[in-house]
Structures are given as C-alpha cells and as structure tokens.
Amino acid sequence: MASQPQAETSAKYVIVGAGIHGLSTAWHLASRLKASGQGDGGDVLVLDKTGIGSGASGVACGVVRNNYFQPAMRQLMAHSVDVWESDPEAFAYHGVGYLQIAPEAMRADVVQIAAEQAAIGYDSVLIEGVDECRAYLLDLFSDWQAPGISVVLHEKRGGYANNTASLRGLAAKAEAEGVTIRSGVQVTGFRMEGESVRAVETDQGEFACEQLVIAVGPWIRDFWAMLDLPERISVTGTDGIVHPDTPMWTYWALQEGTLGVDPSEFVDNEGRIPPVVHVDSDQPLYDDTDGSLITDQMWGIYYKPDFHFGGVQGGASPERVDGPAGQVAVDPYGTASPEFVVGEEFVRMWTSALAHCHKRFEGTRPLYRKDPSGGIGAFTPDSFPVFDTFRDNAYVIADSNHGYKMIGVGDLVAGELLGETSQLLEPFRFSRYATGKLHPVSNSPFPWS
C-alpha cells in the first residue's frame, strides 16, 4: 500500500508517522484542502521510518469505547466513534458494543459516566445492584460467575477494529486523495529558522515544509527533544499544589495477549459476537491452576473474541517500565516483541481472571498464545493526550496511549491546521499543566480511565 520513495523534497504539510493519527490527519487534511479550494493531497506528505502501522497502531488490540470518566475524553470519543461508523468495511470495524462491569467502589463513577453519555446522546444502558447485574450478565452469558459486581454499563455503540486492516483502509483513503506516503525514511532532526521548523532532516535528505505534524506514538519523547522542549515540567494539581520537576514522559508496558481458543466459541447466549467485555473487580483473584492468591487489590481485564487474532484477545492494567529518571533503555518499538511486553505473571493473572468471570475459560491457560499485541505507551503527566502547536508550526499529537480508538482526532487536527479551533481538542492543550485544568481521576485500576 505504501508509496515507494519518489523525488519529493518538500511539501506544504509534512506528517511524521504512518499510524492511526498520521494517516487520519493526512486523509482528512487532503479532503478538506480539496473541498475548500486551498489545495489537494499533493500538498500532504507522510513520512515513516518503517511503514504503515509499524508501531503502536499496528499492534493495538483495537478496542473502541466511550467509557471515560472524563467529560472531555467522552465527547472526543463520541466524535471518533462517528468516524469509525462512517465506513466500517474500510476500517475493518465491528460495532458490537462495550460492557463496563464494575464493583461497588466504582459504582458512582460508572453512574456518572452513564448520565453524561445520555446527556450527549450516546446510546447505553445502565444496570445497578448486585442481583440485577448478575441477572443481566447471565442473560448474556450463561456461564457468568464473577461475584461482587454491582454496576454494568452496556454501551450499544463502540466495539473493536482489526488493527492492520484498518490502517490499510486509512492509507487507501489518504492516497485516493493524492497524499504521498514514504516509507523507510528516518527523521534525525529539524532545521529551524527562528521559532519555525523549515525542514525535516532525515536519512534520505531534507524535506522542506510550511507545517509539521508529529504523530509518532511512543517515540514522542525523542521528537519532543528535537524541538528542544523540556524533559521535565511543572504541573499544577487540581488542588492548586504545584509539582515541580515532573517527567513529561513516562513509559508503561501494555499487557495484552491471546487465548488460542476458537473465537466463534465465545459468543453470547443468542450465538452472536458479544460486546467487548471490560471487568474491574475488588474480589480476591486466585490462580486458576493451583488456587494460590494472585491479588487482593483492585484488578481489571478486558477481552473479546477476535478472528483477526484468531482467539480471545485482550489485556490487563499496564506496568511501568521506565527507570527513576523516566527513561526507557530500549527503542520503544523494540517493544512489540511479546516476550518483552508480556511476562508469565500477566499470563497467570489474565487467564485466571477469564476463568474467574466465565466457567468456559477454566483450565484453558495452556492455550495462551504470545501473539504481538500491546507494546509500550508514552504517557503524559496526567495520562491524557496533548494536542497542541509548539514552536510556530509543529503540531504535536501526543495521544498518551489513547491513540488507536481516536481515529477522529485526525479530522479535528486537520481543521486546526486550516485555521479552525476545535472545542473538542481545547481541553487537551499543554497549558493545562501550568493552570491546573487537569482531567478528573476515576477509581479504575487503569491509568487512562
């Protein structure tokens, strides 16, 4: 799909990164340029050091959800779900819905999410009470057996998409608009004139530009440094307390894997593909093999039958992988090696949690398969994205590992590149760290919820 290197040495818009954000921005920007008469796809060039989907987007598990405690995230995701639903075939998107299943400690959070979803017209069903939740889940899955669930939020929209197939679909849309995608081009720096980036320096020479877009996922730390932006910043908390010398980037391993069962065997009671299932629990979790205690703290998993992965695929809470100075000793993608990302403790925890929830998964740990999934994410100080312009003309898309599901961000960024101001992106400006306008924090064990 990717174009072969050609003679272009300049473009009005140069986008670095051929993942979900880079390709979505290229497609929407080219389309908007043409519609407005300001240019066309020939003004847009995408550079990637390897190729389409070779980083985080290409190993994403593909979950698309709107289950966020933060109103700004919820509104942004509603827009992205609209984009996923606009062409399910091209994006290999399966709109099966999403189940948030949680204990009493998270009940108030989930109830608030449901109310705010209703306020923006996002279709979901809320179930409260231990007995009511158990009945609802047994109506979906006859083998449901997890205790201690007191709230369920069933999002009727959302679901999941096939990672590499969706990226090929995005690339095809961008190229159909005239965008050039060049693979095998590694960025080494920027040529600056005053506060503006005038050219992208690469191992294939310079690419002059008027506007730069950086959409590089976990490599953002290195590009941040190329722009001579601070490695550590001052963050004002919502309580007004200033936290100086905070690392701008921290790295977490996203623990995901695949249980090698026939995905067609994980269906609901009606024989249909079920919603993506996300379970948070405060119940003790015991090893499905030897009965030993794994944890008596809050834990969480997510899972779905996925023919793209050829089994039941999902994950659990991430783990920090950086050192005390906030550094990662490996190239972040060096990451996608499943041996690096997923250890035996994850396999033990995740397969035991599946068995905790469904009788059908008892004794299935030997079927676990270490397929490439997950990888490493670069997280911001509050674990939420930054979408903003730095220097004069470098637009940074730093998704803080919320990336793949946010296919619509590219549409909003394209609008901003052409002079619009997106109200959906406003809450994600870098200035929030100085002003203390941080996003609220939920009781979920996941740092991004």
Least confident window among 64-73, 114-123, 185-194, 213-222: 64-73
Structure token pair of residue 86: 């606009």
**Pairing between strand 98-102 and 63-64?**
unpaired
Mean pLDDT of 362-381: 85
367-390 average pLDDT score: 86
**CA 129 – CA 104 distance, rounded (Å):** 9
For residue 177, pLDDT beyond 80: yes
Token pair, residue 179, equals: 């965008």
Q: In whole angstroms, give the CA distance from residue 367 to residue 258.
A: 9
Domain ranges of the chain: 1-93+160-233+382-449
CA distance 327 to 320: 11
CA–CA gap between residue 388 and residue 261 (Å, rounded): 43
CA angle centred on 334, ends 333 and 338, rounded to 5°: 95
Question: Is 323's pLDDT higher than 70?
Answer: no
Q: Average pLDDT of 77-106?
A: 97
Average pLDDT over the chain reads 90
> d(Cα 8, Cα 207) in Å, to the nearest integer?
8
**pLDDT of the residue at 403:** 81
Alpha-carbon distances, residue 357 vs 52, 141, 245, 275, 362 (angstroms): 37, 10, 42, 15, 9
Strand residue runs (E) in 145-267: 151-155, 159-161, 180-183, 187-193, 196-202, 205-214, 232-236, 242-247, 250-254, 256-259
Give the pLDDT band of residue 319 (cuts 50, 70, 90): confident
Indicate the SS3 state at residue 100.
Answer: strand
What's the whole-model pTM score?
0.92
pLDDT of residue 3: 44
Q: What is the pLDDT of residue 112?
A: 92
Pairing, β 63-64 against β 93-94: unpaired
Q: What is the mean pLDDT of residues 206-212?
A: 97
How many Cα atoms within 13 Å fall on the side-chain side of residue 134? 8
Which pLDDT belongs to residue 327?
A: 44
Rounded Cα distance, 414 and 35, in Å: 12
pLDDT band at 352 (very low <50, low <70, confident <90, very high): very high
> Of 35, 5, 63, which is closest to residue 404 (Cα–Cα)?
63
**Choice between 91 and 54, residue whose per-residue pLDDT is larger:** 91
Closest CA to 253 of 338, 314, 351: 338
The pLDDT of 227-245, averaged and rounded, is: 94
Provide, rounded to the nearest whole percent, the portion of the chain with pLDDT above 90: 78
Alpha-carbon span 176 to 239, nearest angstrom: 49
Assess whether pLDDT exceeds 90 at residue 216.
yes
Residue 385 dihedral angles phi and psi, to the nearest 5° = -65, 160
**Which pLDDT score is estimated for 320?**
77
Torsion angles phi and psi, residue 103, rounded to 5: -90, 180
Q: Give the pLDDT mean for 131-149.
A: 98
CA 63 to CA 25: how far, in whole Å? 20
Helices 107-119 and 71-86 cross at an angle (nearest 10°) of 60
With a cut of 70, say whether residue 340 has pLDDT above it.
no
Q: How far is CA 223 from the centre of its chain?
A: 19
Would the pLDDT of 317 be above 60?
Answer: yes
Q: How many Cα atoms sit within 13 Å of 216 on the Cβ side?
A: 25
Q: Report yes or no: 158 and 97 within 8 Å, Cβ to Cβ.
A: yes
Write the DSSP symbol of residue 150: -
At the topology level, CATH places domain 1-93+160-233+382-449 in: FAD/NAD(P)-binding domain (3.50.50)
Specify the pLDDT at position 9: 86
CA dihedral (273, 274, 275, 276) in degrees, to 10, reads -90
Q: Classify 352 as helix, strand or coil.
A: helix
HEC secondary structure over 313-349: EEEECCEECCCCCCCCCCCCCCCCCHHHHCCHHHHHH
- Asked if the model's pLDDT at residue 329 lies above 60, the reply is no
Tokens matching residue 434: 């100085």
**Torsions phi, psi for 287 (to 5 deg):** -60, 130
398-427 residue pLDDT tens: 999 888 999 999 999 999 999 999 999 999
List all residues 6 or more positions away from 86 whose beta carbon is below 8 Å from its beta carbon: none
